[in-house]
Amino acid sequence: MKAIVFPQPGEWILEDRPIPRIGPDDLLLKVHACGVCGTDLHIFHGEHFVRFPVIPGHEYAGEVVELGENVKHIAVGDHAAVDPNITCGVCRYCRRGQIHLCEDLTALGVNMDGGFAEFSLVPAKQAYKLPSGLPLEQAALVEPLACGVHGIDLAGISIGDDVVIIGAGPIGLIVMQLARLAGAGRLLVSEPHEPRRRLALELGADAAIDPLNQDVKEEVLKATGIGAGVVIECVGSVRTAEQAVELARRGGTILLFGVTSPGLEAAVKPYDIFLRELTIRGSFINPFTHARAVSLLAGGRVKVDKLISHRLRLDEFGQALSLAGTPEAAKILIEPGG
Contacting positions for Zn ion (CB under 5 A): 37, 39, 87-88, 91, 94, 102
22 vs 31, beta carbon nearer Zn ion: 31
Q: How far is the CB of 215 from Zn ion (least distance, A)?
A: 32
Distance CA 214, CA 221 (A): 12
Smallest gap from residue 39 Cβ to Zn ion (A): 4
Q: How far is CA 272 from the centre of its chain?
A: 30
Candidates 42, 53, 56, 12; CA nearest to 334 is 56
Nearer to Zn ion, 60 or 119 (CB): 60
CB under 8 Å to 56, separation ≥6 — which residues? 4, 6, 40, 43, 44, 109, 110, 114, 116
Q: On the CB side of 298, how many CA atoms lie within 13 Å of its CA?
A: 16
Residue 313 CB, nearest distance to Zn ion (Å)?
20
Nearer to Zn ion, 39 or 224 (CB): 39
Nearest position to Zn ion, beta carbon: 37
| Contacts of 39 by beta carbon, 8 Å cutoff, 6+ apart | 48, 58, 110, 259
Phi (first) and psi of residue 210, to 5 degrees: -100, 105
Q: Smallest Cα–Cα separation from 303: which of 184, 150, 191, 148?
A: 148
**For residues 119 and 257, which CB has a smaller minimum distance to Zn ion in the complex?**
257
Burial class (CB in 10 A: 0-12, 13-18, 19+), 49: exposed
Q: How far is the CB of 74 from Zn ion (least distance, A)?
A: 23
Residue whose CB is less far from Zn ion, 88 or 221: 88
Among residues 143 and 161, whose Cβ is nearest to Zn ion?
143
User: Which residue's CB is nearer to Zn ion, number 57 or number 229?
Assistant: 57
CB of 160 to Zn ion, least distance (A): 31
> Least CB distance from residue 98 to Zn ion, whole Å?
9
- In angstroms, the first-to-last Cα distance of the chain is 14
Q: How far is the CB of 145 from Zn ion (least distance, A)?
A: 11
User: Looking at beta carbons only, is 91 or 321 nearer to Zn ion?
Assistant: 91
Cα–Cα distance between 327 and 67 in angstroms, integer? 40
For the bound state, the minimum distance from the C-beta of residue 89 to Zn ion, rounded and expressed in Å, comes to 6
On whether the CB atoms of residues 259 and 266 are closer than 8 A, the answer is: no
Long-range pairs for 11-14: beta carbons < 8 A, 24 or more residues apart: 12/44, 12/317, 12/318, 12/321, 14/314, 14/315, 14/317
In 77-153, which ranges are E strands?
Answer: 79-82, 85-86, 106-107, 119-123, 127-129
In the bound state with Zn ion, the residue whose beta carbon lies nearer, of 37 and 168, is: 37
Residue 161: CB minimum distance to Zn ion, A: 27
Contacts of 222 (CB under 8 A, 6+ apart): none
